[in-house]
Structure 1
Amino acid sequence: MNRSDAMRDQEIGSLLLKFSLPAIVGMLVNSLYNIVDRIFVGRGVGSLAIAATTVAFPIMIILMAVSMLIGVGATALISIRLGEQKKEEAEKVAGNAMTMLILLPAIFAILFLLFTEPILVAFGASENVLPYARDFVYIIMFGSIFGSISMGMNNFIRAEGNPKMAMNTQILGALINIVLNYFFIFRLGLGLKGSALATVISQFISSVWVLSYFFTGKSLVKIKTKNLMPQWPILLSIMAIGFSPFAMQIANSIQQLILNKTLMNYGGDMALSAVGIMMSLSTLLFMPILGISQGAQPIIGYNYGARQYQRVKETLKIAIIASTAIALAGYLVLIIWPTEIVGLFSTDKQLIALTVHAMMIFFTMLPVLGFQIISSTYFQAVGKAKESAILSLSRQVLLFIPLLLILPHFWGIDGVWRTAPIADFLAVILTATVIYLEMRKLGKVTVIAQSEEVACH
């Protein structure tokens, strides 16, 4: 059974495990890198450096958003086209996407470098934090193309049915990053510049690794020179599907900008450092769920394209159950050992106490967020951009940002922490309603498809 046919015929549970486990391992390694990186920064440079990475985070999110606009959209289309047995069209999508994964981050990096300091100040950098943030982001920008290629095209590898190779890409980049971070910060004394340099070098090596997969004949979907010239119909299809995760990341960046400003007003640099620690922990908590999401996406997309709707529903159900179990386990670890976990990042007792208090409130709704994330991914996978955009944006734009602007006026800094669980609860209610209606509709389509199949026989 070849890689493509397995998505149509193999038992769903084992297939999802086969696709998700490498993604989970790869993303866990990546998230562990982020945690280790912030531990190195916190202990090797100081709490202001943690605050600087918090200020720089919205900019890195925007770079990620550009990659996801093309990478996620192209991945969904590649899966659907392979399910429809249209390999040549899948290759056109991949070629067009590769070109845009190079051009878009390059344009963004140039624009940012022209207005660095005003952007960093707008994103919450105080006079004390600004020098650290500037040093960090300058270097990150020069490696933006490498990060775009390695992240975006690694999704193509997963879409064509080779999740282990995609996992190896993530592990390679993360391990190199960890080793170089330690060497540059603690051995060479390069501080936050060393952390940024380690990131860029690891992204460069990862991008070379990914490109070698496509240009040495290992891939099912080939990158051909004739497909590199952008074609508007293809690009518009890619961006229509990729718009949901793109918009979600842009909203996340705007959310982070407003959050940073609010934190500076109510808690200062210490509150920024606390959020920096929580973001690292959040990455670790959400990456396994996103791994399941990435594993489910090509299976859902392929079977939707092949009109195997019962397999689509089964994949969604198993993915939701697995992600909820992981989210619950992560939440229990946080509430049982909060002080010990936060203490890994800093020895500052005031920072530890503030972060533990914030974390207990901020992550209250964590156990149910797996359902929300997987459901949003379903609509990406089947090419329903509008529904995916609404669900993805519900937490960051429709709910989180308005609550963030209102609640601190009543509860001060605690109003900032309470924004997340309230927004999460409302987003889950909205998601449950939309996915229920979609499953009813899909059930009717399944009956029609089965009737047509019986008629053909």
Structure 2
Amino acid sequence: MDRHNRLGEEKISSLLFQFSMPAIVGMLVNALYNIVDRIYIGNIKDIGKLAITGVGMTLPITTIIMAFGMLVGIGTSATISIRLGQHKKEEAEKILGNAFVLLVIISITLSILGIIFQDKILSSFGASPNTLVYAKEYMTVIFYGTIFSMVSFGLNHSIRADGNPKMAMMTMLIGAILNTILDPIFIFVFNMGVKGAAIATVISQVATTIWILRYFTGPDSMLKLKKENFKLNKKLILSIFTIGVSPFSMQIAASVVQIIMNKSLTSYGNDYAVGAMTIIMSISMIFLMPIFGINQGSQPIIGFNYGAKKYHRVKETVKYAIVAATVFVIIGFLVIEIFPAQAIGLFNRDAEILEVGVNGIRIYLSMLPVIGFQIISSNYFQSIGKAKVSMFLSMLRQVILLIPLLLILPKIYGLNGIWLAGPISDFTSALITAILFFNDIKKINK
């Protein structure tokens, strides 16, 4: 049975498992890069609680770097897929060559600006004199390695477009495993602290960059990275940016939220509140990444069957995806509510971090059980071609509702107001999503 027949005829539960599992593994592996760093940094003797807060202050910057990686990476991947579908292999290779050059130029620009202005940037993002030293120590190394971060992240999307999702997953596995091995060596054995964590991350990114470049210049790839395609073409750049601007905007918005949150946490709490939130977000990533993997797996199944007017299969796919996502988040919710101190303690066992973190995680992630439904339903609209509705719903939870709540609630409830902003945003966005989702399902039924 060929791929098209499979999407339209094979058992939905089996299809969803086959398509989602590699994506879930990939998303979790990708998350491990940051999580492993934070676990080791938070456990550095004597300075762990301030060090993890310093790294928390760098999140908006690393998010911006990732945004540019998505702008080029996702835009390139989608454009290459379209050209290959049109049997325009040479043009697809030109797009790949242009993407590589764009990633190099943008990363070098970001590195130079970051190194020159990092003190001002970090201070304006909320870093205090106590945490600035650790934030700067971490980011200086990351800025020097930005070129490897962006090239590896950006071009890995193109490996999928080249028809090799397993190789794309292997790329992330190599980076995450290497980072996990090198972190304790540089942090504890070489006694390099926060700088050691950053060096381990950059070395891992160098390794994945070499792996990807070897793939696109070796015999395994269909598309080849060629020097003659490095000359930038305005039309090709525009086609990349047109598609990549949506995920880029989402990441920039996420960075703005992180900046507002860090400044609010510093104003209404202290440095340790930022450290606690860094840990809370890391823990939430563990349970949310599988949902994004289910999204990636369900998207082609929903899209194909919607196009084929097999609406019963569309509904069945969405149902299974929502159930699977909800199971993940309910497990996460139970772990957090029953073992909050143990979850926070994995990253740092300091009494001040634990006190703030245990209270914070129980409140901030109290609506975790509804997030699975909200994310899957938002993806449903994207899968059936209603990108504007999907983008609105995605922005609703993390930007449109969250930013005003972060600005208003702390003025009334202090630090608890920041923790409350999360569940209120989650519940309200899930409610609005449910209304739009079930209205659309009614249209399908008709």
Report the TM-score when normalising by structure 1: 0.87
Deviation at 1:417, TM superposition (A): 0.2
Q: Are the equivalent residues in 2 in contact too, given 1:20–1:295 (CA < 8 A)?
A: yes
1:15 alignment partner in structure 2: 15
Amino acid at match of 1:43: N
- Mapping of 1:364-383 within 5 angstroms? 364-378=366-380
Deviation at 1:51, TM superposition (A): 0.5
2-structure distance, mates of 1:197, 1:390: 38
Q: 1:430 to 1:213 in 2, by over 3 A?
A: farther
2-structure distance, mates of 1:91, 1:5: 29
1-structure distance, mates of 2:62, 2:361: 23
- Mapping of 1:325-344 within 5 angstroms? 325-344=327-346
Alignment counterpart, residue 238 of structure 1, candidates 237, 240, 243: 240
Alignment counterpart, residue 274 of structure 1, candidates 273, 276, 284: 276
Deviation at 1:363, TM superposition (A): 0.5
| CA deviation vs aligned residue, 1:375-423 (integer Å, no higher than 9, x gap) | 4445555665533432222223211011100001111100000001111
1-structure distance, mates of 2:126, 2:416: 19
- Mapping of 1:18-29 within 5 angstroms? 18-29=18-29
1-structure distance, mates of 2:204, 2:66: 16
Alignment counterpart, residue 417 of structure 1, candidates 394, 409, 419: 419
1:111 alignment partner in structure 2: 113
- Mapping of 1:81-230 within 5 angstroms? 90-91=92-93, 93-225=95-227, 227-230=229-232
2-structure distance, mates of 1:382, 1:233: 28
Segments of structure 1 that go 5 or more residues without pairing to the other structure are: 445-457
1-structure distance, mates of 2:30, 2:213: 20
Q: Are the equivalent residues in 2 in contact too, given 1:362–1:421 (CA < 8 A)?
A: yes
Q: 1:61 to 1:198 in 2, by over 3 A?
A: same
1-structure distance, mates of 2:14, 2:80: 22
Deviation at 1:28, TM superposition (A): 2.1
2-structure distance, mates of 1:316, 1:110: 45
1:319 alignment partner in structure 2: 321
Q: 1:203 to 1:406 in 2, by over 3 A?
A: same
| CA deviation vs aligned residue, 1:153-200 (integer Å, no higher than 9, x gap) | 222333454332222111110111111110001100101110111111
Deviation at 1:35, TM superposition (A): 2.9
1-structure distance, mates of 2:110, 2:356: 35
Tell me which moved more, 422-431 or 124-133. 422-431
Amino acid at match of 1:353: E
2:37 alignment partner in structure 1: 37
Deviation at 1:245, TM superposition (A): 2.0
Amino acid at match of 1:193: K
Deviation at 1:21, TM superposition (A): 1.2
- Identity of matched residues, %: 49
Deviation at 1:7, TM superposition (A): 5.8
2-structure distance, mates of 1:292, 1:369: 13
Segments of structure 2 that go 5 or more residues without pairing to the other structure are: none
| CA deviation vs aligned residue, 1:217-238 (integer Å, no higher than 9, x gap) | 3234444555544444443343
Q: 1:215 to 1:4 in 2, by over 3 A?
A: farther
Deviation at 1:287, TM superposition (A): 1.3
Tell me which moved more, 95-104 or 323-332. 95-104
Q: Are the equivalent residues in 2 in contact too, given 1:4–1:160 (CA < 8 A)?
A: no
1:452 alignment partner in structure 2: none
Q: 1:144 to 1:295 in 2, by over 3 A?
A: farther
1:261 alignment partner in structure 2: 263
Other structure's SS at 2:191 match? coil
Amino acid at match of 1:186: F
Amino acid at match of 2:67: A
1:451 alignment partner in structure 2: none
2-structure distance, mates of 1:97, 1:111: 21
2:293 alignment partner in structure 1: 291
Q: Compute the RMSD of aligned alpha carbons.
A: 2.9
Q: 1:332 to 1:228 in 2, by over 3 A?
A: farther
1-structure distance, mates of 2:108, 2:384: 30
Q: Are the equivalent residues in 2 in contact too, given 1:316–1:374 (CA < 8 A)?
A: yes
Report the TM-score when normalising by structure 2: 0.89
Q: Are the equivalent residues in 1 in contact too, given 2:33–2:201 (CA < 8 A)?
A: no
Q: Are the equivalent residues in 2 in contact too, given 1:243–1:389 (CA < 8 A)?
A: no
